[in-house]
Amino acid sequence: MSRDSPIAFAARYTIRTGIDDQFDYDVFISHSSRDREVVHELAGRLQENGLRVWLDDWEIKP
């Protein structure tokens, strides 16, 4: 039996809480700069699955 990568798992098992209008984002991602590549992939997949993702590189402008 093959095991999901963390990204595949998170993208497949997204949960909607029903409190969408109380917050601007569904997911806040905090990460080490070493994990930037995998975090961007995860964030993109979560977004593709309809979640509103807060990721520093996307939201903090210089």
Q: Where are the domains of the chain?
A: 6-59
**Can you give the pLDDT at residue 20?**
57
**Can you give the pLDDT at residue 56?**
94
Digitized pLDDT (tens) for each residue of the chain, 62 residues in all: 456 676 666 666 555 555 556 778 889 999 999 999 999 999 999 999 888 999 999 999 88
**Residue 29 CA: distances (Å) to CA of 1, 3, 25, 32, 60:** 29, 23, 10, 10, 13
**Can you give the pLDDT at residue 14?**
57
